[in-house]
Amino acid sequence: MMAAAKRVQFDVRMGDCIDLITTLAPASIDFIYLDPPFNTGRTHKAARGAFRDVFAGVDGYIAFLKPRIECMQRVLKPEGSILVHCDWHASHRVRVLLDEVFGSERFLNHLIWQYGLGGSSPRVFARKHDDLLWYAKGTKWHFTPPRVPATSRRMLGQTKKATDVLDIPSINNMSKERCGWPTQKPLALLEMLVEACCPLGGTVLDPFCGSGTTLVAAQSLGRDAIGFDISKDAVALTKSRLQSTHCTE
């Protein structure tokens, strides 16, 4: 007789992750994805939420991130890994911070998420990518290589292993996927990352869960998930998305 499928578990809480992470058991998380503020120096606003992304320069930003990253390192399993989503504002300093906390020898990939939407500038090259820094806690980690459509004529209709450049469109303003959160990331991106970096039945932590896309991806892929956010709007939105198949306004 076939065993019943494991029921996926979710835990969404409001509060600062530096406080909430202390409630988690040490070495209990398989994969951490975090999309924290980027140190843009502005307040992000949209239909379903807003947050200030203002720090005392890059030094103040790193001072904010460091104790939180250290807490995250402690709750990762020995074979767990962490992926930090950032951009040009501070990615250079975030990588140095991750080297300090995890060790430079635990660096796995500097992923580039390439997207098409957004403006351009008459003074610099148009900024059309984010940086995702992936580190392991120990000498072993989970990885299931993602497959993407092949582009060569010889492999037409086939797939190939994804590279460290992820060509996934950002969410169009008119898309039904859009939930009204100012920094919402595409579900396709998070599904790729969760499936690649977290084993089936494992636990994903998103300590800045925002619109809840990481938890929605985990739900669709059979992973448990924990989400924290300091915003009550983010927590309410995440819970509503987990309770429905489609995200609506």
- The pLDDT tens digits of the residues spanning 184-239 come to 999 999 999 999 999 999 999 999 999 999 999 999 999 999 999 999 999 999 99
Residue 155 maps to a domain = yes
Is the confidence at residue 53, as pLDDT, over 90? no
**Domain carrying residue 194:** 10-242
Is the confidence at residue 243, as pLDDT, over 50? yes
Residue 1 maps to a domain = no
> Does the predicted TM-score (pTM) go above 0.85?
yes
Is the confidence at residue 3, as pLDDT, over 70? no
Question: In sequence order, which residues have a C-beta less than 8 Å from that of residue 57 and are 6 or more positions away?
Answer: none
Residue 64 maps to a domain = yes
Our count of domains for the chain comes to: 1
Instruction: For the beta carbon of residue 87, count every other beta carbon within 10 angstroms.
Output: 16
Is the confidence at residue 247, as pLDDT, over 50? no
**Average pLDDT, stretch 100-126?**
92
Distance between alpha carbon 148 and the CA centroid of its chain, in Å? 19
Query: Which of 21-35, 41-55, 117-131, 185-199 shows the lowest per-residue confidence on average (mean pLDDT)?
Result: 41-55
Q: How far is CA 24 from CA 11, 137, 162, 223, in A?
A: 11, 17, 33, 17
Residue 4 maps to a domain = no
Residue 248 maps to a domain = no
Query: Which of 1-10, 145-154, 161-170, 206-215 shows the lowest per-residue confidence on average (mean pLDDT)?
Result: 1-10
Residue 247 maps to a domain = no
Q: How far is CA 47 from CA 101, 173, 181, 182, in A?
A: 36, 12, 7, 8
Residue 20 maps to a domain = yes
**Which CATH number is 115's domain given?**
3.40.50.150
The predicted pLDDT at position 1 comes to 39
Using pLDDT thresholds of 50, 70 and 90, give the confidence band for residue 116. Answer: confident
Using pLDDT thresholds of 50, 70 and 90, give the confidence band for residue 94. Answer: very high
Q: Which run of H or E residues covers position 73?
A: helix 57-75
Is the confidence at residue 76, as pLDDT, over 60? yes
The amino acid present at 197, given as its one-letter code, is C
The predicted pLDDT at position 245 comes to 52
Residue 249 maps to a domain = no
Using pLDDT thresholds of 50, 70 and 90, give the confidence band for residue 43. Answer: confident
**Rounded Cα–Cα distance for residues 3 and 49 (Å):** 42
